[in-house]
Amino acid sequence: MMRRRSRILQPELNPNAMTVLERRYLKRDTDGKILEQPADMFKRVADTIAAADLKFDNAADTSAISDQFYTMMASLEFLPNSPTLMNAGRELGQLSACFVLPVGDSMEEIFDAVKHTALIHKSGGGTGFSFSRLRPANDVVKSTTGVSSGPLSFMKVFDMATETIKQGGTRRGANMAILRVDHPDIMDFITCKADMTQLNNFNISVGITEIFMEAVKRGETYNLVNPRNGKTMGTLNASEVFEKIVTQAWENGEPGIVFLDRLNRDNPTPHIGAIESTNPCGEQPLLPYESCNLGSINLGKMVRDGKIDWDHLKHTVHLGVHFLDNVVEVNRYPLPEIARMTLGNRKIGLGVMGWADMLIQLQIPYDTEEAIELAGNVMQFINDEAHAASRKLAMQRGPFPNFAGSVFEKRGEVPIRNATVTTIAPTGTLSIIANASSGVEPLFAVSYTRQVMDDDILVEVHPIFEKIAKAQGFYSHELMAQIAVTGRVRDNFGIPEDVQGVFATAHDISPEMHIRMQAAFQKHTDNAVSKTVNFSKTATADDVAKVYDLAWQLGCKGVTIYRDGSRDKQVLTTGSAPDEAKPTEEHTEKAMQRPKRKRPKILKGRTHQIQTGCGPIYITINEDQEGLFELFTTMGKAGGCAASQNEAIGRMVSLAWRSGIEARNVITQLKGISCHSPAGFGENKVLSCADAVAKAIEEHMAANGYGEVPQRHTLVRGACPDCGGRMLHEGGCSVCKVCGYSDCG
């Protein structure tokens, strides 16, 4: 009979962590009542994962193994990816976050992929695709004597399918789309998210080849290849294509770039297939139908008395590899093809979070040569020990089934249990649970505000900064609130210079140092490194180009950039002049000086019905002899916050019109505002009640001869749709640091 050891350790979780767990992770009954506490969740996961040991040793003491797994998680020293925490020991049992699906060049293959995507998203996973196999737009389709609509049209089908699928209220679908740079439709792909109104369930990346980068370097052309027959369809100037990628990324952060040849250079099983795509955040290259299970060590917990505890780090690495290999074993895969491919290669991805926290405890500024050197040393240690742990498991359990013919066998290496062992993921939500800095990113803020119930505003302060501030005598609530305005302490507030240096935030770090840090970790990581290179709002496209070139030179496998403010403002499509898009200060001042129009007793107008995520809204627009005069809204369900907010919108729109503000400027301010409950699809999609009001004004103007109205635009990733908190861009994704909501699930 197996021994049951008591679990004494209780997880120490801050309010943010509890909020995230209660909203997304803890088990509930059919009425939504929470049935477990965090300790119960960790116990559920530990017991389920430890049980896999019995498959290899029927006398295994799974109680002891479970206790080790529990302690590792409850102490917040290691956490697996979100689906494992959510689903281990529960009916669904799907534990992987990362999947890649093939998209073939026939209608049957394309819609099989759509169906498989739905099943994966339903189970809580995210999907990556390469659309590079699809023939280009307007290419011949012999079976119908017609022409192809091209990859972009089918990407929209996947996007709509993702929009439709609900994931039980725990995770939402996210996709990665990659197109090779030599695909004939590459220029359309680069700009497919230019106005940020479509493909919002996709991250997009251009698959860059070494041939292309060499052509950029030499200012030469390169060939475009039709994937249907392998024939050249023309050429493009590589420098011009590169410039277009850079410009588009500068404008809104997409597309990212992925160095495809480098992904395949490190492909451990080329005899099984070629790597075409990655998971949604780009850190996990996978073969078609392959999945991967990730987990992260909290480096902030690996420091003792101002020094790295290498022995404890080694112990955690070995235990983490053991844990993740067990996950592969007990996982319930959503498709038999995925089960076969995943069990054949047994890829795992052990990574890190809390890197910035480790540096702070060691009193090493993030943007220094010392930090870059330490990054390489720490990750080399983790990678070496992780491989040693996997080889030890191979001696006990056997190597991964596809080991024969792998690069390991060809190099004459000792058999290994897992084809890949290390990955660095963004850890957005997990880092909130662990109260740690995300992945290998710098701090996003030293102090920030958080709104709680009854509209109370709390100031959250980095615990180590708060401790230092109190110890050195410069702590005050007023100072912490002042820091929270920008989140930064460098060059501010009279804080000691050595403290300022150590507490670097993302925008204190130069883009070049971001890339150098990424490269330092990448050198010792099997898969890839998820990291965002932050740029200031004033950065130029040339600055982005330099970073892309540096990433290529330093051996990175991909790059994701974000320029401050590029997605938080309204992004306009072509068709509107700048002064139409945003009224100038002079224009607004003159408008406000005009006398306000008085309301006649009788006005003509019409009522527009628009379906929103909160139900139907009826929008009445009235005119006087001068034009649009007033707007009223009525919700299908009377009363409540939504109705009062809409009444406020109507009053403000009416006041604006009577004061001389043009209708097109009202549309510019309202259209594209999004909430947690959109409705409809494509061009008919209504993002919020405010968006519905803007649409009604557009319809009214179009039907009543007001001429051209502003083109579609949107407010992108400003506030969290769940709690209204600030969304942070990291690792190719957007994450709310208050409640844990993530665009990537």
Q: Using CA atoms of 429, 677, 691, 618 in order, give the dihedral in degrees to the nearest 10.
A: -160
Return the HEC string of 651-693.
Answer: HHHHHHHHCCCCHHHHHHHHCCCCCCCCECCHHHCECCHHHHH
> Measuring CA to CA, which residue among 578, 571, 587, 586 is closest to residue 662?
587
Distance separating alpha carbons of residues 620 and 439, to the nearest angstrom = 50
* Six token digits for residue 341: 């491919």
Distance separating alpha carbons of residues 465 and 15, to the nearest angstrom = 18
* Alpha helices per DSSP H over 331-368: 336-345, 355-361
Distance separating alpha carbons of residues 401 and 419, to the nearest angstrom = 10
Q: Three-state DSSP class for 705?
A: coil
* Six token digits for residue 610: 């628009």
Distance separating alpha carbons of residues 693 and 309, to the nearest angstrom = 58
Other C-beta atoms within 10 Å of 266: how many?
A: 15
Which residues touch 378 (CB under 8 Å, ≥6 apart)?
299, 308, 352, 355, 358
Distance separating alpha carbons of residues 213 and 206, to the nearest angstrom = 12
Please give the DSSP secondary-structure letter assigned to residue 744: T
Which are the catalytic amino acids?
Answer: 279, 281, 283
Q: Number of C-alpha atoms within 13 angstroms, CB side, residue 84?
A: 33
- Token look-up 């990574």 returns 351
Distance separating alpha carbons of residues 512 and 468, to the nearest angstrom = 29
Phi, psi of 724 (to 5 degrees): 80, 5
What is the torsional sign of CA 186, 190, 195, 199? positive
Contact 334, 305 (CB under 8 A): no
- Token look-up 């490269």 returns 519
* Six token digits for residue 345: 């290669």
Contact 367, 504 (CB under 8 A): yes
Other C-beta atoms within 10 Å of 202: how many?
A: 23
One-character DSSP codes across 114-181: HHHHHHHHHTT-EEEEE-TTSPPTT-EETTTTEE---HHHHHHHHHHHHHH---TTT----EEEEEET
> Measuring CA to CA, which residue among 192, 346, 220, 349 is closest to residue 284?
349
Contact 125, 334 (CB under 8 A): yes
